[in-house]
Structure formats: structure tokens, C-alpha cells
Amino acid sequence: MSCEKAYITTPIYYVNDIAHIGHAYTTIIADTLARYSRLSGLDTYFLTGTDEHGQKIEEAAKSRGKSTQNYADEISATFKNLWDEFDISYDKFIRTTDVDHMKGVQKAFCVMHDNGDIYKDTYKGHYCISCETFFPAIQLVDDEFCPECGKSTTVVEEESYFFKLSKYEKPLLDWYENNPDCILPRSKRNEVIRFVEGGLQDLSITRTSFDWGVKLPKEMNDPKHVMYVWLDALMNYVTALGYGTDDKDMDYWPARVQLIGKDILRFHAIYWPAFLMSLGLPLPKHIAAHGWWTRDGEKMSKSKGNVVNPREIADAYGLDNFRYFMLREVPFGGDGDFSQKALIDRINSDLGNDLGNLLNRLIGMSGKYFEGTVNSEYVTTYYQNELDEVHASLDKLEPFIFEMQIHRYLEELWKPLTVANKAIDRYQPWTLMKEGKEEEAMALNGLIAAILAKVSVMLYPVMPEICTKISNALHFSIDNKSWKNMIKSTTLLNTFVLEKIDPLFPRIEKPLLEQIEPVDKKVESNASEKPETKESEKTKGVALIGIDQFFQTSLKVGTVVKAEEVPKSKKLLLLQVDIGEENPRQVVAGIKEWYSAEDMLNTQVCVVANLKPAKLMGLKSEGMLLAAKDENGLCMIRPEQPKTVGTPIS
């Protein structure tokens, strides 16, 4: 019997960086949807993977002195390993360097070309490598900088194939109009509509200035072109199902939900449906764009050193607690600020006080009065009203999931817990027992167990490990059968003897991590096997490192554009050093004994550019200068001849 299908996707992650909580957030939401979808009996396919082509990746590999393929292999594996550790229930992990994917992209190019949607011309304009996006001059900030990420853009003029995006302006507007939920939240759909109404220009979809990408199909006979990375990447959603090769799983298409972050909405809500229309494929049911996680109010970025490592948080606080926090804390589509305090509050309050405590009360009651037995026989006789109230909440839940209102789903799911806790306070099993109303007390015990069981079924997609522990204690399994019985109908639990389990949410009194390490500090241990330094490899007490380790330090040429003394300091100068980024780096350097501010101004220096920021005398320092010091004093290490700012040093 064929049942309804649900295809759920995450974006595929760039391999220029390892996963941080932003990536984990996207993946955890998608995993929750996939788990709910399976629980409710849908034939579910969940896709994730990595986006490995393009200039950004090529440059990231080069700057680390690695071959692009090796580098992509390493970082892709860090994503896959993390998702495996996090027990993410993906059905396929696609890589854009997979041969079948590349064949599928080539096939798509041919189909679009045959449809008359692709033509050759010259592209002249600006390109932001970091966003892998073309921008017309009019959109740039100060005629140069990327309007999305603020980095400097490069001017490109090259022969290019174009996709006739302008042709799809009207069909796209019709799609948004006729499918009010095609883009969620709806406010985002309005943004997209306004953008498209402003007019669409045809899209350059090939590049010739580098070659780390999918080549054009042989039929095009134009070997110097590679595909634009977004065309390549977006196609993953169908090539994973066999598009262009064996079509094996294409019956999962169109996707039920395509989960993305708000930063990549334009690609998914405009380019992607236009490509699909050109290919004659149906459009996804929902494209759902979540908001952005910040840290202490600031955007997370490597250069600021404030990127949160999801593994570290999950290790310290528990994976399921972390999942719950992310999904409950922020309304879908909104931005959220990550702090240990907010996480601890959620664990102690929602999880500890409401859920964990209820389980403890059940264990206490059953043990004290019924030798651990839970019996549901008289629950409906005495507590039908409570059960009705619980089911009224449970019935509201499902739409929240596919409308991407997971915070409301969780909010509503907590109401049955309140019903249960209140019932204990109101009916007081100890009083019932004292008054000889044993049957009523037993029924109350059964009611609490039933509520815990029902809540754990519905909480399972968000907290699979914890809910499995609860269901084991309550002697039932969480699956489509129990979902049907306990949620869709009002079945209670069979009689059983409760298993004792340790408290699920021990109270957390203070932050468990003194400091959250920036994610990139862990790159090495995750990305590649760190070679053991054997005693024989050490010289004069200095451990030898491999070239890979050396390349983990980003050294750049910079020019000091501003220099001043740090008041009240004998040693420090405050420098602003231009290393080719949007803003100069502030560096606090302990060189005043040897250099005055004037000496340093407009000179070139060598900067360690990927150091975690530090504070010196209350001033933030975002880098370190290379210098050599012996008994005669200190001198700066500088390039022999002037070099462009930002030039990597190797």
C-alpha cells in the first residue's frame, strides 16, 4: 500500500567552515519535522549534505595549502560526523562532488537549454565570493561592498551563460499569489513578492575564471565554463532523488518542507522555483526560512571569535536539552540570542520543574501507594474532564508542526503537563489514601502516567532520547502505532510496573562552561586526524607540526592606518590595521618601548588574523603582529617590498 510521502530537506552546507549552532539549528528543525512525519505515518525522506564547489571553497582550500578535493572531503566529513553524533535521522547525505549529482546538474542544464531558457552573453558586474552572488552596481554599498555580508566585491567581466530568469517573473508572482503558504513565515513571502515585483534580471549561471565546479554538459562543447555554484547546489534537492540519472526516488518530489535560513531565501524562493518551472517539475509545498542566531546580540563570525560550537553545548548540557532550547526559545522566523543563562532557565524550568518533576511525582506516588504499579482502569471514571482537556491540546498540535510554529507546538504541549501537575495538587493522592479512596488515587496515578506517555509521544520528535527513556519507564514504545492509539484516539496505558529512572533534568545552578570556545578552535580535531607527535619528532623540546597545522594559522599582510598610545600604558599601542577586510582590525600591541605611534603609522606589518579576540586594558584586540625580540630589543617582521593588504603569508 502506498502512503503519503513527505520529503524534507536542509540546505547543503558550505565546506569552507565547520558546523556551528546556526547549522545545527537548521538541521535540528529539519530532523524534528522528519521524525514527526515518520511518527505520523508518512513515508518520509530526509536529505542533508554539503555544498562543495565554487570560488569560496577553492580559496579556502588554497589558503590552507590543501587540494580542493581533500579539503572538501575533510570538512564534509566533519558535518556528517557531527550529524551522526547528534543522531540526525537523515536518509541521505548528498555531496555536490558526488558523480551522480554532477550528472544530474548537467542534465538539468541541457533541459533548460533545450527549452530556450539559456543563452550566452558577457557578464559584467560585481561578484561577492563570500556570498557566491552577483550584484548589479546599484545594489553595492559605497560602490564596492556586498549589500549582504559587507565584504569587498570583485569586478568580473567574462563570457557567461545566462538563465532567463526575467521570463519567470509573472509565473513566480502567480505561484506566490496562489499558494499563500509556499513561503513561511508569511512575512517572508511578502518580502519576496516585493523583490520580484521590482523586476528580475536574467541570471549568469556559468563562470570561466576558475574551474572548481561542475563542467557544462559535453553537448555544449564549451569546456572552459563551470556552473554557477547556486545552480549546482540547488539542484541537489532533486539529484538526490535520482534526477538526471535513475529517477529512483523522484516520487518523493515535490518536497513537503525545504528548510533554510533567511539569508538564503532569495535563492530558494526565486531562483529555485524558476529553475524547477523551466525543468517542468512541480514546486515545493513549503519553503520555510528561519531566523538568525546571534551571540550576546552580535552576529556570529569567525573573525569575532564568538561562534558557538554545537558539540560543546550538547556535551555540556545534553543534546536533547539543547534541541528543546533551540526550538522553544525562538519563534520560527525570528532571530535568537544564544546565552547559557537562557538555556539553563529552559532546562531548570520547563524541563526540570514541569516535565521531570511530574515523572518524579509519578514514581513517588506509584512506589508509596501501589508498589510501583500503574493501573489505568478507573481513569475515565474519575478524571474524564482532565483527559478531555489534555486531548483538546493534543488535537491542536499537528498543524503547528507543518506550519513551522514549533515554539507554539511546544507551548501547547506543555498544557497537559500543567493539567497533570494541577490534578495532583488538587486531588492530593495522600488525602485520597487517608480517606480510603484507593480506587480514586490509583486512577489519579494512571492519569498522570497517561499524560506523561502522551506528552512523550508528541515530544519525541524534539527530544528523542529523553522521550525514549520515559517511554521505557512507562513500558511502551513510541511509534506510529502508539501515536495513533494515544494521540489520535484516547487509549491509556496497560497496567505495568514502573521502571525507576534517574532524574532526567538535574538542576543546573551555574553555567557549565566557563567560556564557550569558538568553533574554529576545534577544527583540527574534527577535520582531520591530528598526527600524534612522537617523542622522536621533537627537537629541543619543540613539538614538530605538520604543514596542515601551520596553515591553520592565517597570516596576512596589513597596513597600519591609525596608531595611538594606550593611555596610562607603558607598553601598549592601539593600532588599526587594514588587512583587506571591510573594517580595519584593532590590534593592541605591546611594542611601545621600541616603536612610537608615529613610527608605526602607514607601515606594513604581518598579522595573525585568526586569533581569538582578547581584551588588553579594556581594549579589544583582534589580531597579533609578528615581531622578533632578542637581548638588543624588538623589531617588527615586515614584507621586504610593499604588498597588497590582505595578502596571505605562507
Q: Which of 158, 263, 337, 548 binds ligand MSP (CB under 6 A)?
A: 263
Instruction: Write down the least CB distance from residue 210 to ligand MSP, Å.
Output: 17
CA-angle at 205, arms to 276 and 127, nearest 5°: 130
Regarding 14 and contact with ligand MSP (CB under 6 A), the answer is: yes
> How far is the C-alpha of 472 from the C-alpha of 58, rounded, in Å?
49
Q: Which stretch binds ligand MSP (CB under 6 A): 5-13, 101-109, 379-387, 416-424?
A: 5-13
Q: Which residues fall within 8 angstroms of residue 129, CB to CB, at 6 or more apart? A: 55, 56, 59, 151, 154
Alpha-carbon torsion 378, 380, 383, 387, what sign? positive
User: Which amino acid would we find at residue 245?
Assistant: T
Beta strands in 201-334 (DSSP E): 203-204, 206-207, 226-227, 257-261, 286-290, 293-295, 298-299
Regarding 43 and contact with ligand MSP (CB under 6 A), the answer is: no
Regarding 402 and contact with ligand MSP (CB under 6 A), the answer is: no
CA-angle at 127, arms to 121 and 128, nearest 5°: 155
Regarding 327 and contact with ligand MSP (CB under 6 A), the answer is: no
Q: Which of 86, 293, 402, 595 binds ligand MSP (CB under 6 A)?
A: 293
Regarding 52 and contact with ligand MSP (CB under 6 A), the answer is: no
Map grid coordinates 597596513 to a residue. 559
Q: Which residues fall within 8 angstroms of residue 195, CB to CB, at 6 or more apart? A: 266, 270
Instruction: Write down the least CB distance from residue 322 to ligand MSP, Å.
Output: 14
Q: Which stretch binds ligand MSP (CB under 6 A): 19-27, 318-326, 366-374, 638-646?
A: 19-27
> How far is the C-alpha of 505 from the C-alpha of 348, rounded, in Å?
7
Nearer to ligand MSP among residue 22 and residue 416 (C-beta): 22
Q: Which residues fall within 8 angstroms of residue 492, CB to CB, at 6 or more apart? A: 376, 379, 380, 446, 450, 486
Q: Which of 6, 8, 11, 402 binds ligand MSP (CB under 6 A)?
A: 11
Q: Which of 36, 33, 309, 62 is nearest to 184 (CA)?
A: 33
Regarding 13 and contact with ligand MSP (CB under 6 A), the answer is: yes
Q: Which of 104, 213, 261, 461 binds ligand MSP (CB under 6 A)?
A: 261
**# chain residues binding ligand MSP, by CB under 6 A:** 19
Residue 486 near residue 39, CB atoms below 8 Å: no
Residue 161 near residue 116, CB atoms below 8 Å: no
Regarding 26 and contact with ligand MSP (CB under 6 A), the answer is: yes
Instruction: Write down the least CB distance from residue 253 to ligand MSP, Å.
Output: 15
Alpha helices in 280-356 (DSSP H): 310-317, 319-329, 340-346
Q: Which of 31, 51, 249, 578 binds ligand MSP (CB under 6 A)?
A: 51
Nearer to ligand MSP among residue 153 and residue 236 (C-beta): 236
Instruction: Write down the least CB distance from residue 304 to ligand MSP, Å.
Output: 12
Regarding 483 and contact with ligand MSP (CB under 6 A), the answer is: no
Regarding 101 and contact with ligand MSP (CB under 6 A), the answer is: no
Nearer to ligand MSP among residue 59 and residue 222 (C-beta): 59
Q: For ligand MSP, what does the binding mask look like between residues 220 and 259, x meaning CB under 6 A? A: -------------xx-x-----------------------
Nearer to ligand MSP among residue 60 and residue 487 (C-beta): 60
Neighbours of 252 (CB within 10 A): 21
Regarding 12 and contact with ligand MSP (CB under 6 A), the answer is: yes
Residue 434 near residue 426, CB atoms below 8 Å: no
**Burial group, residue 359, by CB count within 10 angstroms (0-12, 13-18, 19+):** buried
Regarding 95 and contact with ligand MSP (CB under 6 A), the answer is: no
Q: What are the cell numbers at 280?
A: 517542468
Regarding 306 and contact with ligand MSP (CB under 6 A), the answer is: no
Regarding 260 and contact with ligand MSP (CB under 6 A), the answer is: yes
Whose CB is nearest to ligand MSP?
261
Regarding 284 and contact with ligand MSP (CB under 6 A), the answer is: no
Beta strands in 164-269 (DSSP E): 183-184, 203-204, 206-207, 226-227, 257-261
Nearer to ligand MSP among residue 13 and residue 168 (C-beta): 13
Regarding 636 and contact with ligand MSP (CB under 6 A), the answer is: no
Nearer to ligand MSP among residue 266 and residue 562 (C-beta): 266
Regarding 288 and contact with ligand MSP (CB under 6 A), the answer is: no
Regarding 572 and contact with ligand MSP (CB under 6 A), the answer is: no
Regarding 292 and contact with ligand MSP (CB under 6 A), the answer is: yes
Neighbours of 84 (CB within 10 A): 11
Regarding 378 and contact with ligand MSP (CB under 6 A), the answer is: no
Q: Which residues fall within 8 angstroms of residue 238, CB to CB, at 6 or more apart? A: 104, 108, 244, 250, 253, 281
Q: What are the cell numbers at 465?
A: 532520547
- Cα 20 versus chain centre, distance: 7
Q: Which of 7, 8, 18, 23 binds ligand MSP (CB under 6 A)?
A: 23
Which residues here bind ligand MSP, judged by CB under 6 A?
11-14, 22-23, 25-26, 51, 233-234, 236, 260-261, 263-264, 292-293, 300
